[in-house]
Amino acid sequence: MGGLGSGRRKDRARKTVESHLTLDVNLLSEKGCLRPGCSSTCQWIVSNEVVSINLRAEAERLSLSYNVQVGNGERQDIAETIPIVRLRCRFGGSRAYFICPGPGSGTDCGRRIAKLHLSRRYFLCRRCNHLAYASQYEQPRQRALRRVNKLRERLGIGVGIAEPLPDKPKGMWARTYGCLLNEILQAEILANEAQANRFKRLLAQVDNDLQADRPKGRRC
């Protein structure tokens, strides 16, 4: 039986925000799950299994209950309470934030935050869980290509350099179209430069290895 915390050893080793279950206060607010008295369930698919947590909202907090697999493989029922604050927006209305219940360095964390991530037993902020964003691990070329793909999607075309750039889409301002083309060009130049630099490093490495393997006194 899987469930929360199981089947995720590989993901956990990567320690990125994206590989952990996330509670988004804005999403919960949109769906009405933060209304005092509301009981709801959040579900995810992890390793082909549905895992869920139960939520119960009160005026200034959200109570969670779920079951996780802990380090030694045993399962444990967890009850967690997350304080919620609502701040007035500049143009009216209010916006909800979680207050991270995690322990910081010597004191409680208390960060006002929109997203909490499950690592080990509890939903805590990214810093308390020591999680990085996946993009922080990306190589320069991957980062540039991701940027290219994102920009291409804005022009309504699929990812990949092979697909030709379209004419200006109907309804798009010429200036916006021009800016997008320019940004795609710059990102593609960066990606190509990063690729060329990698080739150079690999070739230099091969050259070094060949030098090291070559018997002394012989030249080719």
Residues of this chain that bind Zn ion (CB under 5 A): 100, 102, 109, 111, 125, 128
The nearer residue to Zn ion, 10 or 130, going by C-beta atoms, is: 130
Q: Could you give the CA distance from residue 175 to residue 155 in angstroms, rounded to a whole number?
A: 13
**Nearest approach, Cβ of 26 to Zn ion (angstroms)?**
18
Joined tokens for residue 110: 């208390």
**Nearest approach, Cβ of 114 to Zn ion (angstroms)?**
12
**Nearest approach, Cβ of 99 to Zn ion (angstroms)?**
9
The nearer residue to Zn ion, 100 or 118, going by C-beta atoms, is: 100
Joined tokens for residue 74: 């045993």
The nearer residue to Zn ion, 107 or 211, going by C-beta atoms, is: 107
**Nearest approach, Cβ of 112 to Zn ion (angstroms)?**
10
**Which H or E run contains 98?**
strand 94-99
The nearer residue to Zn ion, 28 or 124, going by C-beta atoms, is: 124
**Among 10, 12, 57, 63, residue whose Cα is nearest residue 32:** 57
Task: Describe the strand order of the beta sheet including 122-124 as a list of residue ranges.
Answer: 22-24, 115-119, 122-124
Joined tokens for residue 45: 């698919």
**Nearest approach, Cβ of 15 to Zn ion (angstroms)?**
15
Q: Which residues contact 39 (CB under 8 A, 6 or more apart)?
A: 54, 55, 56, 57
Residue 202 phi/psi, 5-degree rounding, is -65, -40
Longest dimension (CA), the chain: 84
The nearer residue to Zn ion, 99 or 191, going by C-beta atoms, is: 99
